Structure 1
Amino acid sequence: MLRFIPAFCRSHCEMRGLVNYCLSCCVNTLLQTFSATWELADQLEKWEAAGVRAAGRNVPLQLKRVLAAMRGDLPQPAPHRDFLHCLDSNNIRLNVQHDANEVFLFILNLVQQQMDDQDLALQIQNLYKISVETCVQCLSCCSVQTLNSFLLGLPLHIKEDHNSLEECLASFFEHQELRGRNCCFCPRCETKNPSRKGLKLRSLPRILCINLERFRNIRGFTHKLDCRVTFPEAFDLSLILTEAFSAEFAQNDCKYTLYAVVVHSGSAWSGHYTTYVRDKVNKHWYYADDSHVRQVSWEKVQTTYGGRDKTAYMLMYRKTSEEGQQPDLSG
């Protein structure tokens, strides 16, 4: 059953609508996911930003203000024009259609660059930080080169037919053989040789962001893949990626629960973003299409598996054991 949320009930649901201002549907959906990521809003609330210069161009400051406004109980859509103009001054232009995943990463990077409290900025980054180890093994001498790095989300390649999230995750961590023009330089052999490349997890974040790569360049043109990608409401990553953990991985809990889905409708050239969010308190799902918010069922969220009308593009999962707990983000 679908129903609009009356004003007097809004205090039980932290989700408030956002007016589409100058083609802002992409940013509107991201603000809904940021608002649902209560750990992020709580960390920003700790920030004493009194000494910030050029406040109108400071993304973390404007993000802090708009998330606080979205937590309010007023029935009208939350004010967010200052945040949109702030992004515009940082080259996320108004009146331009943007890619949600690119803007998401851009905002997180600007939070790191523009916060004067770097310890707090790193704590925010740690919310999303996936530490990985890249291993490249020379197939001639068997020597191994390793490189440690991190991601703020998993960009998952999808096939042009039927996919499941579990299959896409397993494929992302599969070993690949690099031959021909893709051969890697081996320091021991001092030449380029065929190699085997693999990615292993060193640590998992509290918030696991997954990007389903539906946009693909084919012969110089961008196309959208509307193929079906199923995803669960909850999963245990240790059961999916049995061999994708490095020797340094020391976390016991790899269970995650879905709490937000960014949805894209339309084609690669003309589209619209909306979002589904799971409420922190009552655990119900809500759907936001700019300023319009209504309660929906999990079955309605599942309709975004595939099809031209509405397709899931970004998935936000939270560690199950940490739902509702105050975070320790010092790691």
Structure 2
Amino acid sequence: MEQKNENSTDFILLGLFPCFRYPYLLILLFLFIYIIAFMGNSILIFLIWLDSHLHTPMYFLLSQLSFIDLAYISSTVPKKVTNYYTRKKSISYFSCATQLFFFLTLGLAECILLTLMVYDCYVAVCNPLRYTILMNPKVFLKMAAAAWSGGAPTALVHTIYPMNFPICGSREINHYLCEMPAILRMSCVDISAYEMVKFVSTVVFLLIPFFLILVSYTLIFLSVLRMNSWKGSNKALATCFSHLTVVSLYFGQAIFIYMTPTSSHTPEQDQIAAVLGTIVTPVLNPLILRSKEVVGALRKCMERCGN
């Protein structure tokens, strides 16, 4: 089969579930979800910035998570909606590579940030007397910087290699965005060596953090069981359970997509997993991670506006 690698040729995004009979219903649904996610995360960031009682490491990291989720969902849904209403499915090579890079960078940043948030929870519950020392402003600013910059070099590697594999035949991407597995399916060369590199990267950025999170939560739960205060233990468990729900949603779909060979799952399964990670998780985070402090800050803000 003749190999083609014409980088100047546009790719064709087939969209989300191209065989679905009522695509406009999906578009309206995701547009509605996007508006809810945008409003929820924006309000959360604004409240954390506005209320001095929320100027703590936990809420600072939570505001960073909301910002990542805003960027995450904004990098996919608006493009999908625009393509549908303009009837334009093509995306240039450069735009596809840019979308893939930012998609991976934001995804890796969220993995790092979720892990650091567990560390914050671990110190607060298991070592509360040293919390202000271990989680001083310099430390959590470095945490945020590590989350934003830590995944960029890896994302660059996993953008350059897939985008330069020779393509045979059609340049149709069976997805609603330029994602790595969908691009790898178009390649007509042996990608087994690259699949191994992808697996190693996934172990470093997904499996090891996920293992650290599980170990941290085990230690947290053991510490909570030893607490004398029922109220304190309930609050700690509620916070940890909310975070663990987010971690399970996000890491679960990412491990499914990137820790298994591309050929072992279908494009439809990839799309469902991508929807969970890039659309469902951002809209759920403000709801799952809300707390009495955030609700209280919202009430105070509404009272000020009412007066």
TM-score by length of 2: 0.27
Query: Per residue, is there more helix in 1 or in 2?
Result: 2
Query: Per residue, is there more strand in 1 or in 2?
Result: 1
**Which structure has more RCO (C-alpha within 8 Å, separation ≥ 6)?**
2
